[in-house]
Amino acid sequence: MSDSTSPLSVLKRVFGYDSFRGEQQAIVEHLIAGHDALVLMPTGAGKSLCYQVPALIRPGTAVVVSPLIALMQDQVDALRELGVRAAFLNSSQEWEAIREVENAFARGELDFLYVAPERLLTDRCMRLLERGRIALFAIDEAHCVSQWGHDFRPEYLGLSRLHEQWPDVPRIALTATATPQTRDEIAQRLGLTQARHFVAGFDRPNIRYTIVEKNDVRRQLLGFIREEHAGDSGIVYCLSRNKTEDTAEFLCREGIDAMAYHAGLPAELRAQRQARFLRDDGVVMVATIAFGMGINKPDVRFVAHIDLPKSVEGYYQETGRAGRDGLPATAWMAYGLQDVVQQRKMIDDSTGDEFFKRRSGAQLDAMLALCETVQCRRTLLLAYFGQQSQACGNCDVCLTPPQTWDGTVAAQKILSAIYRLHRERDQRYGAGHLIDILRGKRTEKVAQHSHDTLSVFGVGQDVSEQGWRSVLRQLMAANIVTVDGDGYGTLALTEKSRGVLKGEQVLMMRKESARAAARSRNIMP
């Protein structure tokens, strides 16, 4: 390798950087030598250079598989800016443009060809690739091949064909989110069993994780922004489109520069708002998860979730958009009992098959475990991605350790009450009514159903209403209480309830710290 084609000189000359970061150089050399690689690095760590540098050193065109058409255009534009010959093929193009790209590839005039997976696997495209010389295959967002992941794309399953047809061309699969389980699945399904794994650290030490109990979420959000991030750029994630608009309006009324963003808005308005978020300081984007993919704004100071994300992978990816510049940033979330009930119900009501429901249930459980943990949140988060770590000192649990209490008897009381109510088959009761019974409140509904005659009536006056909600949440997080498949969100016992009722298990529960409780009530005017 002459000096002008060494990885470092290409990095300097073409990309204008002085040195490689982390494992980039090792990965680059591994590929140049013709081997396969599986690369796991968090967003923003610099995955692209891992295949872009070897692509420019190996003879032929690098074929890059990418699932996001919008990103493809950006990547190709960025490479062309650098004077590199790049083009893409996807379903958004005119016939003429496709012909032009195909001819350029066949003549060997491209360094990079970006292709959407569904197009790559067509006969036409496979025949085209036979006509040129391929430097390497890069498979971006490789977790899309995993049915357990959060972003499964069936077209990815066909990509194992690449190896069968071009066994000598090195392949590199890249992803930002992968549990050890998903990692194995990627290796298996893409035929990358011989590939070397390069796993970067997933820790984002500058992000402070905080999860609070939800009571008046908009006020809590406002308090959080005013107290900790006044004037900062941030993203607020909500589950529904309506909620993004309502919340943005609310924040604006309170003097915060906020905008809503979701897939239901006209494309032009979305582009305009996104541009403003990127350009101006101190804008808060209130968005569904449609917002954020491929957005590279280094100084996002906070990411707030006012609804529970569906999985830890999703949570990690969304919170990872904060603090890309390495300066302190906050990942803040408020979650409550209603989130748990709603999500369990959504899974139950979904039209997905058994597999889908089981997977979604497992993802929700992992998310709830993160919310209810009495250990360092970062430790738990990293463990989810297969990484061991010490308590971080930079999350709410480390900074204000929650107290625990023996909640066994309380759990037995609430389980008995659920059992009693559940026997009244034609009636549906929610958590509020259940708690009224335990607290001995003679509400209209209690009187109407004579629930003051139940043996559990008034047995729970020693625990506050908020305390009961917390108990119920923790029982749901531990799958000791679940939501009935009746479509009404009725609470029900599970197989695990029996052991608790029989006193076979001690349940240590998280107590909301007095300080945190005070803080969440102490909402600024």
**Footprint of Zn ion on this chain (CB under 5 A)?**
376, 378, 392, 395, 398
**Measured from the CB of residue 520, what is the shortest distance to Zn ion in angstroms?**
19
Q: Which does 435 bind (CB under 5 to 8 A by kind): ligand ADP, Zn ion, none?
A: none
List contacts with ligand ADP (CB under 6 A).
17, 20-21, 24, 41, 43-49
252 three-class SS: helix
Going by C-beta distance under 8 Å and a sequence separation of 6 or more, which residues neighbour residue 253?
none
Based on CB atoms, which residue is closest to Zn ion, 184 or 203?
203
Q: Which does 395 bind (CB under 5 to 8 A by kind): ligand ADP, Zn ion, none?
A: Zn ion
Q: Which does 221 bind (CB under 5 to 8 A by kind): Zn ion, ligand ADP, none?
A: none
**Measured from the CB of residue 64, what is the shortest distance to ligand ADP in angstroms?**
12
CA angle at residue 422 from 421 to 426, to 5 degrees? 95
Based on CB atoms, which residue is closest to ligand ADP, 204 or 441?
204
**Measured from the CB of residue 49, what is the shortest distance to ligand ADP in angstroms?**
5
Of 127, 94, 130, 134, nearest in space to 110 by CA: 134
Of 215, 218, 212, 253, nearest in space to 236 by CA: 218
**Measured from the CB of residue 149, what is the shortest distance to ligand ADP in angstroms?**
17
Based on CB atoms, which residue is closest to ligand ADP, 298 or 487?
298
Q: Which does 20 bind (CB under 5 to 8 A by kind): ligand ADP, Zn ion, none?
A: ligand ADP
Q: Is 326 left (phi over 0), alpha (psi -120 to 50) or beta?
A: left
Q: How far apart are CA 86 and CA 83, in angstroms?
A: 9
**Measured from the CB of residue 204, what is the shortest distance to Zn ion in angstroms?**
12
Q: Which does 45 bind (CB under 5 to 8 A by kind): ligand ADP, Zn ion, none?
A: ligand ADP
Of 165, 157, 118, nearest in space to 137 by CA: 165
Is residue 381 within 8 A of residue 312, CB to CB? The reply is yes
Q: How far apart are CA 456 and CA 403, in angstroms?
A: 27
Q: Which does 44 bind (CB under 5 to 8 A by kind): Zn ion, ligand ADP, none?
A: ligand ADP
Based on CB atoms, which residue is closest to ligand ADP, 297 or 344?
297
**Measured from the CB of residue 392, what is the shortest distance to Zn ion in angstroms?**
4
Q: Which does 25 bind (CB under 5 to 8 A by kind): ligand ADP, Zn ion, none?
A: none
Q: How far apart are the first and last CA of the chain?
A: 67
Going by C-beta distance under 8 Å and a sequence separation of 6 or more, which residues neighbour residue 394?
205, 207, 208, 209, 378
Based on CB atoms, which residue is closest to ligand ADP, 48 or 408?
48
428 three-class SS: coil
Q: Is 482 left (phi over 0), alpha (psi -120 to 50) or beta?
A: beta
Based on CB atoms, which residue is closest to Zn ion, 208 or 301?
208
Q: Pull the structure tokens for residue 199.
A: 């796993």
Based on CB atoms, which residue is closest to ligand ADP, 142 or 435?
142
Going by C-beta distance under 8 Å and a sequence separation of 6 or more, which residues neighbour residue 365?
477, 479
**Measured from the CB of residue 138, what is the shortest distance to ligand ADP in angstroms?**
11
Residue nearest to ligand ADP (CB): 46
